Each structure stands twice: as C-alpha cells, then as structure tokens.
Amino acid sequence: MRFGHFDDAAREYVIETPRTPYPWINYLGTEEFFGLVSHTGGGYCFYRDARMRRLTRYRYNNVPTDVGGRYYYVHDGGDFWTPGWAPVKRELDSYECRVGLSYTKITGERKGIRTEVLYFVPLGTTAEVHRVTVKNTSKAAKSVKLFSFVEFCLWEASDDQTNYQRNLSIGEVEVDGSTIYHKTEYRERRNHYAVHSVNAKVAGFDTDRESFLGPWNGFAEPQVVAEGKSRNSVASGWSPIGSHQLAVDLAPGEEKTFVFVLGYVENPVAEKWERPGVVNKKPARELLARFQTTAQVDAALVALREYWTEMLSKYTVKSGDERLDRMVNIWNPYQCMVTFNMSRSASYFETGIGRGMGFRDSNQDLLGFVHLIPARARERILDIAATQKPDGSAYHQYQPLTKRGNNDIGSGFNDDPLWLISGTAAYVKESGDFGILKETVPFDNDPKDAAPLFEHLKRSFHHVLHNLGPHGLPLIGRADWNDCLNLNCFSESPGESFQTTGNRTGRTAESVFIAGLFVHVAPDYAALAEAMGFGDEARAAREHAARMEKTVLEHGWDGEWFLRAYDFFGKKIGSKECEDGQILIESQGYCVMAGIGVASGHAKKALDSVQDRLETAHGIVLNQPAYKAYHVELGEISSYPPGYKENAGIFCHNNPWVMIAETVIGRGDRAFALYKKIAPAYREEISEVHRLEPYVYAQMIAGKDAVRHGEAKNSWLTGTAAWNFVAISQHILGVRPELEGLRVNPCIGAGVPSFTIVRKCRGAEYRIAVTNKATGKPARLVVDGKSIDGTLVPYAKAGAVVTIGCET
C-alpha cells in the first residue's frame, strides 16, 4: 500500500494523505541553518548545532509523536484548521505534501479556502522562509484570518528540557511592527537572537504561549485562533512564542501570498545594543530585506533548485527502471548530503542533543558525498584527522561546534582509524588532489603536535599492526563497526554504557571484520604511500595485507563462512560451534570486498552461506540464530530482543557490503536483487509494513525473528545512505573513480539490458552507454571510438567530454 507517489520530473515525493504510518519528514538547509519538517508541518530548526543553537522547541517522545512545528492556522468564520491537517485535525477537502530537495510544500483546502505553505532555507541564509498562499476557491467573497505560530526554544536544547527552575523566568522578546525578536539570554552571554517576521501589516500578535493557547489547551485548539483575535501578549518568562495575525480578504478566485521569515542573527559583542535594553536590529533588517517580496522568494527557490540540478548532474543513470533511476539520480544522493550535514545528530530518531560526529560514521558518510562537493569533503577529512590521537587511535566522536574529540566516549574502537584511510582515498580518487596528503594536521587538536595528513594515515594503518591478538588478528577494543559487539565490557549494571564500561583490559578479543577492513584499505594506503614517494612503506603495507589475508583464511575461517571474532576467552564468535550467532554478516561482506578467498573459493562459499542463512524477503539480517539471551561476554548485541537492531535486525548499512562482495565474484544478479530488497523506492508498495519514508533509507528493518518483521526504524541519518550509493553507483552500475582513471565495469545481472550513465569527474564529463549481456566477465570498452584494454578509462582534461561504449 502506498501513501503517495514519486514525481520524478519535479524531483518530489508527493504524500497524498496526512495519515501516514509515521511522521514522514524532510530537511531544510544545506549549509549552516537547518530545519526538520514533517508532512504536517511538525519539526524544528537550528543554527549549525541542534543542541547548542536550537531556535524552536520540539518535544521528543510526545503523544502523538509529532506535535510542535511551524504552524499556520486559518480562521474562517468561526471554523479553524491547519493546512497540514495536524495539529487541529479538522477534515480537509484536499491535502498534499510535496517533499522536495531541501524544501517541503504542504497544501490543504477546506470549505473554499486553499492554503499552501512552502518551507525552505534559501542558500547563503541563516533563516527559514515560509511562503504562504491563501486562495479563495469559492464563489463568494471571504474574510479569513491567518495565524502563524512557532514556539521558541531557549537555545540549549538539553537545558531547555530540564532546567525549569531557571528557564521559566528568563524568556524575553521584543516586538517591532510585524517582527518578533526572541532574545532570551541576549542580556548576558549570548550575542544572537531569533527573528520571526512577515512582510505584511499585522492585525495582532502574540509572544506568550499561555496567552495564545489558553492555559488548558494544546496546539490543536489555541484559544486565540478559536476566537479569531490575538491578545498582543508580550512574553515575560514562561514560554515565548511567535505568532502573527493577518486579516486576509479575498474576492472569489483571489489569492494572496505572504512571506514569513524565521531566522538566526548574530551581533558583534560591541554592537549588541541599539540603546540600553534594545537589541541591535540592523542585521535582522538586512536579512528580512532580502525576503520582502514574493519575487525575491521565488528567485531564491529557483537558485536552490539550480543548486540541486548542478549537484545531481555529477552522476545520472537512465536505465528504464524508474525506481532505480530515482534512487540513483535523486533520493540517494540527497540523503547522502543530509547525512553528511547532520551526521547522527537530529532526526525523528536522534534528538539532536546526543551524539556528536562519529569518527567512523563521518568517514563513511564521505564515501557517498564526496562527488557532490569534494571541497567540503576535504574540509571534513582535515577536521576528523585533527581529532586523531598521536598513537593512531581515534576519539570515537567529536563535537561539531568545537571540533574536539569527545572525552566521555573516548577511544578504543579499533576499526575507527582505518576509516580515515577509506575516506581520504575516496576524496583523492574523486578530486585528484594528492596535495591533501601533505596538509599539516594536528594530533588531538594540539598545534604543537602536527604532521602531514599522510602521517595520520600511516599511524592509522600501523595502529592495527601494533594491536594484534593471539591469532594475529586485530584486537577489537571496545567494539568495531558493530558498536554492540562489546567483548571487553562485561556489563552487569542496568543503564551502564555497553561501549565505555570496559572492565576487562585483556588483549585477547579479536575481530575478523577489522582484518577484512585492513586488507581492504591496504591497496589504497599503499598507492597513496607511493604517490608520496614512500615506496618502502607501500611495499611493507602490501606484505602486511598479504599476511593478514593468510591469517584470516587460517584463523578466521569456519568451514563455510568467515568467523566474526574471538571473544575475551578466545572462544569463537560466528561459528557453527556456537549455539546462537553462528554466522554474522560483517566479515562475509568485508572480507570478500577485500578480495580475501576469492581465488580459493572461500569467498563464494561465504556468500552462499549468507544467502542460505541470513537472507530474508526484506534484506539480510545481521546474524543467525538471533541471540536468545543476554551474554555478558558479548555485550549489547545480545541485549536486543531477537530481530531488532544489531541482534539479527536487517542493518541496511552492511547489506551493501554483501552487494559489493557479490560483484567482486561476478554475481550481478545477486547484487542487484539484494539492492532492490532494501532500496526504499522498491519498498514503496509495502509502505504499510515498512512504515517510514519511501524516499530515504532507514538504518534498520526488523528481521525475521522480530514480531514486526519488515518494519523500518531510524530513517535518514545512517551510513546506509553512503554505502548503498557506493554499491549501486560504483559497483553494480560499475562506474567509480580510481587513482589513475575512471573504472567502468558494471555487474548488474540480466534485469537491465542497457543503460546510459553520465559521470562528471575532475572537470570532465564521461558519457557511458552500456550494453549488458550479463556475462559476468569484465566489460569491454570503446573510448572515443577506440577499443581499450581493461576497464580503466584514463582521466581526461577538465572540460573534455569522453564517450564510452561498454559491453558486458
């Protein structure tokens, strides 16, 4: 069952009913100012950091789930309603929500009034713009009243939800004509305020929540809206809000458009005040001046569209499979951009007050983002590397505002350092910018201890070699990619962190996954070393990788598949000897991606075992059998009820590793079949089961042991976005930048007989026409009319257009 449809020409998903199974959201903003907006207008916005600079309030864990947002209420002769249906939930004669690239447009109609609200953040702007059009679709003249509404957050979102003894006394605003200034704490240490304005003369306003709602009402029944009359309240403490009232008189067929701006403004300390107690409004006025007319707003929207058109033109496919095309051309890169910007901070599953930027997460997010804006990826790599510790280990997380490593979580996740090599290699391949390897980057943000970026990669690589266990496999530390495989933790107290409560410090627990990751990054690392002129280091790295590969086949192989790990006591994890957790997905995917056991047939066996034991109709589960009981020596993985999250859930992040692995052994039909099982556009038809947005990936789909098999959770902010884009674009469709050229080698199976791809890379454009006979053999290429040997197309000069014929 669907709740909407894709409009590919407009690059929109059109939600046709407000009664979706869950709030379906979108993100506004591309640079510094961001908003989350649901299909009913719920959500909130913030400047740069969802915790430290939150402009509007949002209540997680609310009932119903999605209450609170930037709402517009229509009062029409005693009747009142909201165009997004919620929060008032008065029946609408029509409803539609268009989820676009960095904008959302909600239209509701009731009794001859149609109201359309367009939400977006213009480029280069620290504000949301809401373009609201009210149209009289009836045959009689109408006089309606339009009320805006936002509830201000007192900036620090965590404090805002907890510190009531102070916060209920500090709220302050100023009202100046049609503009409301939210200035809580501006009198002391904050040099920023929020501004909420409309480009029309107001009939009234409110800034005090209780005055607006009435003491006993929620957002569904604001007293002011019901009565059709603002109170002109000026907040003093309690809960400041912003609400404007507009009188809208409309002849039959007439429409009027208003522009609301909700923005963030900063002043230099010396210029905070206009006069004592009155904020300096100059920068706010400059901001508002840019959005006084509908024409200005429409131009900003066109600029935003062009921004996306240009960005998405870096990789496009025409395959004849519209679901594939819309994933690759629109929605997957869009989600990659959002994860790059947000990391794991703010979604409807992440509260914006918890996790900072993850070392491993951010490096992986880069893999799907780097082709969109390589310069921003470069900046990110240098930020991440600057948090690395001198011994090559890494803080697991860092804070986006300070860019400092986070001491609460600390380090010891032994896969972390290697992801820096993957991220950097992806950037150099995309951009050709080997210069980044020579950039001076501090360790642990200490400018006195700095070295070229390449030295950071070297310490990452050698960190593994300095931390090998009894079988010669890498020590796992607190956890590897699977944050929930906590082999040194042994936690017995509720509430304790499974990751950081290490009470065993033995050097015994080893990870076959990290071994696979090590072998996978080694060729890139060696090539970068060579580019730096470190031939000996390159040679040594290749030898280490060859040795590790042998070790994996010797001590990391269980007979039919790769082992996952050895625990603290040296017992196997992911072996047929185990009662539960006999096979885990990660080492199957990554070891084969690394090429381990491909020649010897181990790789094929491992992938066949994945198919036999882990695959379901909704994707590949993480492990089987699911852990039935808590195992203190395994940690959080066994804390989840069977079928959820890391305990046999379908983790969409690691499914693409298996897809890529399948292409490594030439099984394109398998790879593509697995892709289609989890790609949201292919799941649209079962939206009542999947329940989350059909236009973006979720982190997890409940596995076959779960009561709610097939149901997704944690949409949007997940490494799934980057990895699925890498799998489909680079390995299944088969076009990927390498250091010396563009690799063109599709492996998609028989389902897609021909397709074309346009790939822009390093300033040149490659137009690729593929005839796909699904031979499973390397492609044959004709480049600008000449056959070439192999599948690597040398990079052309910037500005060139290269035509490639490909038969496979």
Residues that bind ligand GLC (CB under 6 A): 344, 358, 360-361, 481-484, 499, 636, 645-646, 653, 699, 718-719
E strand or H helix that includes residue 297: helix 294-312
And the tokens for 808? 């496979």
And the tokens for 597? 């056991």
Distance CA 551, CA 553 (A): 5
Distance CA 466, CA 468 (A): 6
Residues in the chain: 808
Angle at which helix 512-531 crosses helix 535-555, to 10 degrees, equals 160
Q: Which SS3 state, helix, strand or coil, does residue 706 take?
A: coil
Q: Which residues pair with 780 in a beta bridge?
A: 807
- Helix residue ranges, H only, 703-792: 720-725
Q: Which SS3 state, helix, strand or coil, does residue 667 take?
A: coil
Q: Which SS3 state, helix, strand or coil, does residue 341 take?
A: helix
> CB 40 → ligand GLC: shortest distance, Å?
27
Smallest CA-to-CA distance from 489 within 500, 476, 475, 474 is with: 500
Q: How far apart are the first and last CA of the chain?
A: 37
Angle at which helix 585-593 crosses helix 602-613, to 10 degrees, equals 150
483 part of the active site: yes
Residue 25 makes CB contacts below 8 A (sequence gap 6+) with: 36, 37, 38, 39, 42, 43, 347, 348, 693, 715, 716
CB 688 within 8 A of CB 765: no
And the tokens for 582? 């006999």
Q: Which is nearer to ligand GLC, 312 or 346 (CB)?
A: 346
Q: Which amino acid is at 265?
A: V
> CB 465 → ligand GLC: shortest distance, Å?
23
Smallest CA-to-CA distance from 86 within 116, 56, 117, 42 is with: 42
The secondary structure of 425-444 as a DSSP string is HHHHHHH--GGGGGSEEEET
CB 702 within 8 A of CB 686: no
> CB 515 → ligand GLC: shortest distance, Å?
17
> CB 364 → ligand GLC: shortest distance, Å?
8
Q: Which is nearer to ligand GLC, 174 or 365 (CB)?
A: 365
Q: Which SS3 state, helix, strand or coil, does residue 284 take?
A: helix
Residue 541 makes CB contacts below 8 A (sequence gap 6+) with: 461, 522, 525, 526, 529
Q: What angle do CA 487, 480, 573 make, to 5 degrees?
A: 50
Torsional sign, CA 11, 132, 339, 585? negative
Other C-beta atoms closer than 10 Å to the C-beta of 16 total 14
> CB 488 → ligand GLC: shortest distance, Å?
15
Backbone angles phi, psi at 322, to 5 degrees: -65, -30
Distance CA 518, CA 474 (A): 9
Residue 710 makes CB contacts below 8 A (sequence gap 6+) with: 617, 618, 686, 689, 690, 701, 702
CB 27 within 8 A of CB 352: no
Helix, strand, coil fractions of the chain, as percent rounded to 5 = 30, 30, 40
User: DSSP code of 79?
Assistant: E
Rg over CA atoms, the chain = 28
What are the Cα distances from residue 533, in Å, to 170, 221, 536, 538, 589? 61, 70, 9, 9, 32
Q: Which is nearer to ligand GLC, 419 or 566 (CB)?
A: 419
Catalytic residue among 49, 76, 208, 483: 483
Pairing state between β 315-318 and 357-358: unpaired
CB 804 within 8 A of CB 771: no
CB 469 within 8 A of CB 507: yes
Residue 535 CA to its chain's centroid (Å): 38
Distance CA 57, CA 611 (A): 46
User: DSSP code of 726?
Assistant: I
